[in-house]
Amino acid sequence: MSKQTPPMGPKGMGHGPKGMGPGPKGMGPRPKISKDTPKRLLGYLMNYKFRFCLVLVCILISSLTSVASSLYLQTLIDDHITPLLLEANPVFDGLLKSLVTMACIYFVGMVCTLLYNLIMFRIAQGILKDVRDTMFAHMQTLPIKYFDTHTHGDLMSHYTNDTDTLRQMLSQSIPQTFSSLITVVSVFFAMLSVNVWLTILVIACIFGVLKISKTVMSKSGNYFMRQQKSLGDLNGYIEEMINGQKVVKVFCHEEVTKEGFDEKNEELCSNAASANIFANIMGPITNNLGHLQYVLVAPVGGAMALNGISGLTLGAIASFLQLTKSFNMPVSQVSQQLNMIIMAMAGAERIFNLMDEKSEEDHGDVTLVNVTYKNGVLEEVDYHTEQWAWKVPQEDGSFHYEELKGEVRFFDVDFGYNEEKMVLHDITLYAEPGQKVAFVGATGAGKTTITNLINRFYDIADGRIRYDGININQIKKADLRHSLGIVLQDVNLFTGTVMENIRYGNLKATDEECIAAAKLANAHGFISRLPQGYDTVLSGDGSGLSQGQRQLISIARAAVADPPVMILDEATSSIDTRTEAIVQKGMDSLMLGRTVFVIAHRLSTVQNSDVIMVLDHGRIIERGPHDDLIAKKGKYYQLYTGAFELE
């Protein structure tokens, strides 16, 4: 094929996401998170603001019940347990009431905790659905160039790994962080109400914990972002190797492939290990520092109580120590959750980079409509007819209807996949309605590129392309492509029945029309012999079919679309010579009355073309029917006789 693509990254990998700058030596590029990323995530969260407000209320109640239970411990000890120890015949009614009260406090906290977790899980899944919907919808608007320069595995990583980091953050980190922050604030005031001096001691210890946590977090955050990038690269490499497994086997590249995988896997392992090492030591560090703080507060508080300082009681000390634990735990949890949030932000950054990719531009205003002749004049109708026309807007606001005939003309067209290297030079050609135009030439000569320009997969650098006399840039791309049928060398079948795969060419086609298209492509015979015929379910890109059978289905798919212009890009390259002869009869019926562009390496398949274009290095060097080109004894003659081979 003559398709050219922009340079790729090493080992065929696509370019990384935007916002990558130089990193430390030996570490590769340094990932950066945009300031807009949290704001954009918040925008998705606001779609569930009522439920999120309910979550915040439940978190508040849950946190306050935790503080209330710690404070109530002072009342329980000082007012009930201690007096009962001094009585000869203690009465436990008051103690039992207090225990029931404490149990009620804990129960309310438990219910609120359960409730906000359930709601937050639903919010998280809703946001992930919205993100995936938006991402997939935007991906459909991206130009072909984007998919030529990014590996499919890396794109898949956006829908799996990156969204999974968001799930963890939304369902766990955000509610846990809010809960921790509310708990810290409420516990702080509760501790102040018990004893100011012990509170100051605890705050001093906390500053030390935060200082250490900040140092560790700054280390792990960098590696978490690198981990997401490495994961996307590894997925892209795996996808490439799976698709090319036959090639790997044929050329005995197993060892080289393993080396490439080991290199990328080692990079992921290194980044993930570094990130998780720092993240996992955060918990033990903060927990043990909290234990040291607990050990420090207990003797200090005991000494103050024994010396009658600040009126501390046994119940107050017990309550304060419980509050100290409640204060340390949220600080430790926030420190740990911040790493998960940073990793989620790295995933969100990659997702939003995809969403920010520039959509395929389409400034066309000419549309394709069904028409019928009424008193010799084209008239637009809202039902399906066999007649189509271009609806061309006029300056005065009216419309002009131009019958769709299938006339395609190129005038002095230049094109390059990048500005530095032009692929086509001064291409001028005429394809009249009903003509069959063939392109032949060496690989890389520009044959497929010309058909890509007709579809407007890429836009020309200079010159003009006219379709039924209309500048192709003025036609809406969807309407333009609706008028074109294309059969590619690389066949793509989708999971579904054979009938559904054929109907992909025209979703409004009836079963009878799909069967007629299959008969036209000579696919009806083998389809009828399948286990369930047209209802046979295909999976894995039609892995149960031969390459030729898959190609026949793709030809039937193009036939059911019934377009006025057909593009056959090596359409019969995967079919054996005997089958090709049979299919060619169906193809001749399919091409009858249509403008057809044919690309073929088998010159026997283009002999009956009305005109043959011979391309060489992006230029048309010969043109004419088969007999005339043979008589000239030029490049086509050399190709046909084997004196010069396609290379």
Tokens (6 digits) for 598: 């044919």
> Which of 209-223, 227-241, 285-299, 368-382 is the most confident on average?
368-382
How far is it, in rounded angstroms, from Cα 108 to Cα 461? 69
CATH number at residue 259: 1.20.1560.10
Q: Specify whether 412 is located in the same domain as 399.
A: no
Count Cβ atoms below 10 Å from residue 168 Cβ, excluding itself.
17
Secondary structure of the chain: what % helix, strand, coil (to 5)?
60, 15, 25
How far is it, in rounded angstroms, from Cα 83 to Cα 73? 14
Nearest to 317 by CA among 482, 191, 201: 191
Q: Specify whether 384 is located in the same domain as 414.
A: no
Which residue would you say has higher pLDDT here, 76 or 346?
346
Type of residue at 519: K
Tokens (6 digits) for 119: 């709601």
Q: Specify whether 378 is located in the same domain as 473.
A: no
Nearest to 160 by CA among 243, 238, 218: 238
How far is it, in rounded angstroms, from Cα 63 to Cα 72? 14
> Which of 485-489, 579-583, 587-591, 628-632 is the most confident on average?
628-632
How far is it, in rounded angstroms, from Cα 64 to Cα 185? 10
Q: Specify whether 315 is located in the same domain as 459.
A: no
What's the mean pLDDT in 526-530? 90
Going by the DSSP 8-state scheme, the letter that residue 173 receives in this structure is: I
Which residue would you say has higher pLDDT here, 262 or 33?
262
Mean pLDDT of the chain: 79
**What pLDDT is attached to residue 278?**
65
Task: Tell me whether residue 20 is in a domain.
Answer: no
Q: Could you tell me the CA-to-CA distances from 325 to 201, 287, 319, 329 in Å, in that order?
A: 14, 10, 10, 6
Nearest to 289 by CA among 202, 351, 416: 202
For 26-35, 114-123, 323-332, 359-368, which range has the lowest pLDDT when averaged over its residues? 26-35
pLDDT band at 412 (very low <50, low <70, confident <90, very high): very high
Going by the DSSP 8-state scheme, the letter that residue 142 receives in this structure is: S
CATH number at residue 595: 3.40.50.300
What's the mean pLDDT in 547-552? 82
* Residue partners of 194: CB distance under 8 A and separation at least 6: 71, 74, 316, 319, 320, 323
> Which of 85-89, 302-306, 556-560 is the most confident on average?
556-560
Q: Specify whether 618 is located in the same domain as 580.
A: yes
Task: Tell me whether residue 647 is in a domain.
Answer: no
Q: Is the pLDDT of residue 296 over 50?
A: yes
Task: Tell me whether residue 19 is in a domain.
Answer: no
Task: Tell me whether residue 511 is in a domain.
Answer: yes
Task: Tell me whether residue 22 is in a domain.
Answer: no
How far is it, in rounded angstroms, from Cα 128 to Cα 168? 11
Q: Is the pLDDT of residue 170 over 50?
A: yes
Residue 609: give the domain boundaries. 408-641
For 134-138, 206-210, 235-239, 482-486, which range has the lowest pLDDT when averaged over its residues? 206-210
Which residue would you say has higher pLDDT here, 15 or 137?
137
- Inter-residue contact 609 to 630 (CB < 8 Å): no
**What pLDDT is attached to residue 5?**
37
Q: Specify whether 470 is located in the same domain as 396.
A: no
**What pLDDT is attached to residue 20?**
38
Task: Tell me whether residue 23 is in a domain.
Answer: no
Q: What is the pTM of this model?
A: 0.70
Q: Specify whether 453 is located in the same domain as 597.
A: yes
Q: Is the pLDDT of residue 18 over 60?
A: no
pLDDT tens by residue, 449-472: 898 899 888 888 889 999 999 999
How far is it, in rounded angstroms, from Cα 520 to Cα 562? 12
How far is it, in rounded angstroms, from Cα 351 to Cα 131? 8
pLDDT band at 408 (very low <50, low <70, confident <90, very high): very high
Going by the DSSP 8-state scheme, the letter that residue 38 receives in this structure is: H
Tokens (6 digits) for 423: 């692929």
How far is it, in rounded angstroms, from Cα 79 to Cα 76? 6
Q: Is the pLDDT of residue 564 over 80?
A: yes
Residue with tokens 């030729």: 548
**What pLDDT is attached to residue 272?**
79
Which residue would you say has higher pLDDT here, 468 or 419?
468
What's the mean pLDDT in 37-44? 88
% of the chain at pLDDT higher than 90: 12
Which residue would you say has higher pLDDT here, 601 or 569?
569
% of the chain at pLDDT higher than 70: 79
What's the mean pLDDT in 584-607? 76
Sign of CA dihedral 527, 533, 534, 538: negative
- Inter-residue contact 177 to 334 (CB < 8 Å): yes
pLDDT tens by residue, 598-644: 887 777 778 888 899 999 888 999 999 998 999 988 888 888 786 55
Task: Tell me whether residue 247 is in a domain.
Answer: yes
Which residue would you say has higher pLDDT here, 449 or 256?
449
pLDDT band at 586 (very low <50, low <70, confident <90, very high): low
**What pLDDT is attached to residue 281?**
65
Q: Specify whether 428 is located in the same domain as 478.
A: yes
Q: Specify whether 192 is located in the same domain as 310.
A: yes
pLDDT tens by residue, 347-361: 888 899 889 999 888
Going by the DSSP 8-state scheme, the letter that residue 392 receives in this structure is: E
Q: Specify whether 126 is located in the same domain as 53.
A: yes
**Ordered DSSP codes for 557-618:** HHHHH--SEEEEESTTTTS-HHHHHHHHHHHHHHHTTSEEEEE-S-GGGGTT-SEEEEEETT
Length of the chain: 647
Q: Specify whether 245 is located in the same domain as 319.
A: yes
Q: Is the pLDDT of residue 77 over 50?
A: yes
How far is it, in rounded angstroms, from Cα 599 to Cα 593? 19
Tokens (6 digits) for 366: 């000419």
pLDDT tens by residue, 87-134: 667 667 777 887 888 788 889 989 998 998 899 989 988 998 999 899
Count Cβ atoms below 10 Å from residue 269 Cβ, excluding itself.
14
How far is it, in rounded angstroms, from Cα 270 to Cα 257? 20
Q: Is the pLDDT of residue 7 over 60?
A: no
**What pLDDT is attached to residue 547?**
77
Degrees (nearest 5) of the Cα angle 209, 212, 217? 115
Domain total in the chain: 3
Count Cβ atoms below 10 Å from residue 72 Cβ, excluding itself.
18
Task: Tell me whether residue 90 is in a domain.
Answer: yes
Q: Specify whether 399 is located in the same domain as 413.
A: no
**What pLDDT is attached to residue 11?**
38
